[in-house]
């Protein structure tokens, strides 16, 4: 078999890669395999992610013109963290920063988490159990739209898992969807953390 990259030399390196659940095979000659190995991996450190993916005011001129009436905030009113400081350190200043800089951080966060844009999983149990009012639940878990989005994302992962015959994983996703849905349906009496609690 010839190397699938250069098509000139015999392929001596055979690799099976599983990326995002899809199986890929690579057949390369030694030279091409070495070149491939020296290329940077997909896991970028935070500083590189910031410089590549953080939306900063004025960078995307086309998009900015539409949203010009509301310039992106550059400083957190709660802790005085600035966008510039964050760009240098990769660390935010306080919980409020996430709400203040939400739009700017969005693309960076999605890239850092391989497309993950919305939290799925545990929620603070005591806070949820004690917060019986709808307002409290929404403060913790987001409004109906946000929760519906999360449910949609889970449904997509479930379909993928079933297609790939990963039934054990599918079962876990279904449990996760039940947990999200139980809160979504207005059943707010502290059901979000059911299931695996000892």
Partner 1 sequence: MSRPSTGWSGGAEWLRGEGEASDVVMSSRARIARNLAGYPFMTKATSEDRVQVLDLCRRRILSDEFKRASGAESVMWVDLHDVDKLERQVLVERHLISRQHARGKLTTGKGGADQPRGVAIGLPSERVAVMVNEEDQLRIQVIRSGLALSQLLEQIDRIDDALEQGLDYAFHPRFGYLTACPTNIGTGIRFSVMLHLPALKLTGEIERVKRAAEDMSLAVRGFYGEGSDAVGDLYQVSNQTTLGKSEHVLVHELEREIVPRIIDYERHARRTLLEKRRAATDDRTNRALGVLRTARLLGVEESMQLLSHVRLGVLLGLLEGVEQQRVNHLMLLVQQAHLQCSATRELSQQERRIERAKLVRKSLGGT
Summarize the chain as % helix, strand, coil (round to 5). 50, 10, 40
Whichever of 2 and 37 has its CB closer to partner 1, that residue is: 37
Contacting residues for 102 by C-beta, under 8 A, at least 6 apart: none
* Three-point CA angle 112, 116, 118, nearest 5°: 120
Strand partners, 82: 75
Whichever of 143 and 187 has its CB closer to partner 1, that residue is: 143
CB 35 within 8 A of CB 57: no
**Backbone region of residue 142 per phi and psi (left: phi > 0; alpha: psi in -120 to 50; beta: other values):** left
Whichever of 60 and 139 has its CB closer to partner 1, that residue is: 139
Residues making contact with partner 1 (CB under 8 A): 13, 15-19, 37, 41-43, 46, 49, 78-81, 88-95, 98-99, 102, 105, 108-109, 112-127, 138-143, 146, 153, 157, 168-169, 172-173, 175-176, 196-198
User: How far is Cα 152 from Cα 120, in angstroms, rounded to an integer?
Assistant: 11
Whole-number minimum distance, CB 117 to partner 1, in Å? 6
Whole-number minimum distance, CB 2 to partner 1, in Å? 20
Whole-number minimum distance, CB 133 to partner 1, in Å? 15
DSSP output for 119-148: --S---HHHHHH--SHHHHHHHH--HHHHH
Whichever of 65 and 119 has its CB closer to partner 1, that residue is: 119
Whichever of 64 and 96 has its CB closer to partner 1, that residue is: 96
Whole-number minimum distance, CB 59 to partner 1, in Å? 18
Q: Which two tokens stand for residue 19?
A: 């990326």
What are the φ/ψ torsions at residue 18 (nearest 5 degrees)? -115, 110
Whichever of 88 and 159 has its CB closer to partner 1, that residue is: 88
Whole-number minimum distance, CB 62 to partner 1, in Å? 25
Whole-number minimum distance, CB 34 to partner 1, in Å? 10
């Amino acid at each position: 078999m010839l190397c699938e990259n250069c098509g000139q030399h015999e392929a001596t390196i055979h690799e099976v890669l599983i990326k995002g659940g899809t199986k890929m095979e690579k057949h390369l000659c030694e030279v091409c395999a070495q070149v491939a190995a020296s290329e940077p991996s997909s896991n970028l450190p935070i500083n590189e992610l910031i410089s590549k993916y953080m939306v900063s005011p004025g960078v995307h001129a086309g998009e900015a013109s539409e949203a010009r009436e509301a310039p992106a905030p550059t400083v957190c009113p709660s802790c005085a963290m600035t966008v510039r400081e964050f760009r240098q350190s990769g660390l935010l200043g306080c919980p409020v920063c996430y709400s203040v800089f939400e739009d700017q951080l969005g693309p960076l966060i999605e890239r850092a988490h391989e497309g993950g844009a919305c939290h799925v999983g545990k929620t603070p149990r005591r806070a949820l159990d004690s917060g019986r009012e709808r307002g409290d639940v929404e403060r913790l878990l987001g409004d109906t739209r946000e929760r519906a989005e999360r449910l949609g994302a889970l449904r997509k992962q479930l379909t993928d898992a079933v297609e790939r015959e990963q039934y054990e994983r599918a079962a876990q996703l279904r449990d996760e969807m039940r947990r999200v849905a139980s809160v979504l349906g207005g059943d707010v009496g502290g059901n979000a953390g059911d299931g695996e609690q000892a």
